[in-house]
Structure 1
Amino acid sequence: MLTRLAVSLALTASTFFGTAALAAEDLSPLQIFVSKDSQSLVVYEGDRVIATSNVSTGRKGYATPSGIFSIMEKKKTHFSNIYDNAPMPFMQRLTWSGIALHESKDVPRYPASHGCVRMPSKFAKQLFSMTKRGYHVVISDREVTPHAVADADLFMPRMAAPAADLLSDATLRPAVEASAKIDKPVEVAMGETLPKLGAEAVAVLPKNEPPVKILIARATERQKMMDAQAMLARLGYYDGPIDGSIGTKSREAIKAYQEIHSQKPTGAMDEAFLASIHKVMNKKPLTGWLSVRRNFKPVFDMPVDIANPEVALGTHFFSAIRVNPAQNKADWFAVSIDNNINAKAMQRLGITVAADATAPRAAEDAFKRVTIPSDIRARIETMLGSGSSLTITDTGTESETGQGTDFITVTKPLPKTDG
């Protein structure tokens, strides 16, 4: 309540609350929240307000997209290549399709831009000096605030094994033959002596690598096809690439499977085919997918299981600061944002119960529905750093996520209701 009061008071001008937070910028990356409803921008460190300003977002016909973004590029001097070379000083790019934060001399307290987020000159310069590439920007239709997460069993940082070997990698190496004779017990080196309890160690990512960004979303049709291709290959029906492409080889393999299992040989990856092949392979149907990026590049991805898939996950953003692998500690903060899924998309995704972003613990409850293999959790936890993030969403990120981006999640506003 006090934080919200501070925000509302501060929005009367572009105001900074001291410089102490700036000194800790490297250890505690900032997050930027833009509200289209209140035409405001608030900078947070965790759940603590650092700075605020009025802004002007896109006018009718040029609406600023809502969603979860990150700063991909920064330029003090930039000119629009879309709108008559218009100046965009202190530009901080959010999408390659042209959305950015930037300075403007015309910042009314109502939507007026061509889609970018305009900021007053003084504030734009100050914000530019506070941010780095990779810092997150959340643009929401209504004002939202992050809250601390204490008990959702989120990823917690851990020290990597020596020489960057992860214990989880051991399952990928050839196993010791059953006939091999082992005379001595095997000792596993777990790393150097850790600081004593209570020591204030400062976490530094190995090789100063940027923090990882994590996405958990419902499996797409392409990912389901990759899963089907892998199963068909194991059963001997398919000898093509596991690429998710529904080409001639994939269709012929599905047809062959359907004929053997008394199904209409359509070659389509329909519900009956998927239910049958998962039963034959004794596997759960593919429901979720986890992907990891670092420094705007893919690192790895793999399937995960989503409990009660008929219930929408919603769209949630988690961010980590004060990450300390030596003490297995991190401070996580979360926010849930509205994301309307139309009836056709709900049917395609198998969703019968919509999400409520205003529900208590909506973000925490969504994460608890996801089962992540222990070796993958361990791998992620050795890569965590301050500024690491986790996005959970139903609808994926295909429209804007691509080469040179983090995960970009574009959301849709809820339908307006009377009253």
Structure 2
Amino acid sequence: MMLRAFVGACLLSTSVLVQSALAGDARSMQIIVSKSEQTLSLYEDGALIATSKVSTGKPGHETPSGIFSILDKKKYHESNIYSAAPMPFMQRLTWSGIALHEGRVPNYPASHGCIRLPAKFATSLYGMTARGVHVIVSNDDVTLQTINHPNLLQPSGKPKDVLMLSDVELRPANFDSSLKLVEVAVNQTTSAIKPKVVREAEGSPLRILITRRGDREKIMDVQRLLTAIGFDAGVPDGHAGEMTVSAINGFKRWKSLKTTGPLLTDSFVDALYASAGADAAPNGQIMVRQDFKPLLEAPIHIKEPQIALGTHFFEVIDMDREHGKAQWNGLTLDNYLPASAKKRLGIETEDTTGAYDQLSAVLDRIEIPADVRRQLEAALTTGSSITVSDLSHGQETGDGTDFITITRDRS
């Protein structure tokens, strides 16, 4: 474990340069940026090894809060937005222009959205990190903590071939104008998705997102169930096209339900599941990425759906596959939900911040199907992460990214 002698020293000055020769495998590294404190904290194996002052976005050009990862690195880069402004030792967090880079750090927010670092620290940090290292940006000062919970994934022994979905292209859907974000990513396919075997030869970390189901997932279920009982709803692709709408209205007429108003009403969904002899509709979704590409998604169950999940992050910082043990840490981020979003998601109660162990409490409410758990545990590696959030990832998530979760600071 790197620089363990520094643990306990709390905030280290920016004059302490962590040697790039010690970088090795960067999968257990984590970076936390506090906008209120204007600081960056670097963790390795769960231990704080360095801190630095930073300068984040100024009013009108705020740095977004949320869960990011390093997408690209360049020793010298010029801004494509701000008159080719130099951005030495650039580490990109979004393709829309947010990055860590060397710049002027006046001890207050002064950038156009990027996170500026002092020159020496920017050089040192660049030498240590790799693509995929998580960067958490919070308005408040947050700290990672060790978390042990039976619902967290554990390695299943010797790596196996894992059956996962491939050739999945993300595209946005279900745009919520109140949040200015894309709530759900859908799989755009022209034919049935073909599974393939993905081997864990390179041991790339999994990126897992657990969230509430959106209209796209609900429509896919409706299409499958309608087809199973004799209605032609088309390919189960999550799109409410002409064939799907016709099949839904045909079922509604059969059951003497209203064909006007919202397409997917509770009475329609309940009647459809009862007619198909299916269990109650799932209310959660798990999505998985690896090497910046979609791999797998499946329905899950969230207990007490009327209570907000909040936004939480978990990551494997060490793993002993032989003994089937992964060491996880995690944190909770403040994430303001407008009233319109809560109404749409059926959220009636928000958790009281700090009233109890929020990380354990949210894990208590998540039920992952056994077959999905087995696949994930067979491919688990150090650096694998889980994000839990009421809202799905935003439009920043796409080709060449992990899941990017944008959080909203309370004004």
Which of 383, 387, 392 is the matching residue for 2:379?
383
Distance of aligned partners of 1:227 and 1:165 in 2 relative to their CA distance in 1, 3 Å threshold: closer
Shift of 1:161: 6.6
For the Cα contact (< 8 Å) 2:18–2:124, is it kept in 1?
A: no
Shift of 1:358: 3.0
Give the aligned partner of residue 155 of structure 2: 157
Shift of 1:233: 1.4
Shift of 1:326: 1.4
- Secondary structure class of the residue paired with 1:125: helix
Which of 114, 118, 121 is the matching residue for 1:120?
118
For the Cα contact (< 8 Å) 1:103–1:121, is it kept in 2?
A: yes
For the Cα contact (< 8 Å) 2:28–2:46, is it kept in 1?
A: no
Q: Which runs of 4+ in 1 moved over 6 A?
A: none
The C-alpha deviation readout for 1:143-191, integer Å capped at 9, x for no partner, is 10010012343100123476x367x99xxxxxxxxxxxxxxxxxxxxxx
Q: How many Å separate the matches in 2 of 1:226 and 1:374?
A: 21
Aligned ranges 1:7-406 → 2 under 5 Å? 7=10, 9-10=11-12, 13-16=13-16, 23=22, 25-26=24-25, 29-104=28-103, 106-160=104-158, 164=161, 206-266=200-260, 268-281=263-276, 282-406=278-402
Shift of 1:360: 2.9
Q: How many Å separate the matches in 2 of 1:213 and 1:17?
A: 30
Shift of 1:16: 3.7
- Secondary structure class of the residue paired with 1:286: coil
Shift of 1:242: 1.0
TM-score (norm 2): 0.85
Distance of aligned partners of 1:315 and 1:357 in 2 relative to their CA distance in 1, 3 Å threshold: farther
- Secondary structure class of the residue paired with 1:249: helix
Greater mean deviation of Cα atoms: 62-71 or 360-369 = 360-369
Letter in 2 for 1:325: R
Q: How many Å separate the matches in 2 of 1:36 and 1:219?
A: 31
Q: How many Å separate the matches in 2 of 1:213 and 1:347?
A: 28
RMSD, aligned CA: 2.3
Q: How many Å separate the matches in 2 of 1:309 and 1:55?
A: 39
Greater mean deviation of Cα atoms: 358-367 or 135-144 = 358-367
Provide structure 2 residue ranges, at least 5 long, that are not aligned to the other structure.
1-5, 166-198
Distance of aligned partners of 1:5 and 1:353 in 2 relative to their CA distance in 1, 3 Å threshold: farther
The C-alpha deviation readout for 1:261-296, integer Å capped at 9, x for no partner, is 110113711222122223333322221000111000
Q: How many Å separate the matches in 1 of 2:60 and 2:98?
A: 14
Provide structure 1 residue ranges, at least 5 long, that are not aligned to the other structure.
170-204
Q: How many Å separate the matches in 2 of 1:239 and 1:256?
A: 10
- Secondary structure class of the residue paired with 1:89: coil
Query: How many aligned positions are there?
Result: 371
Greater mean deviation of Cα atoms: 113-122 or 349-358 = 349-358
More strand by share: 2
For the Cα contact (< 8 Å) 1:314–1:356, is it kept in 2?
A: no
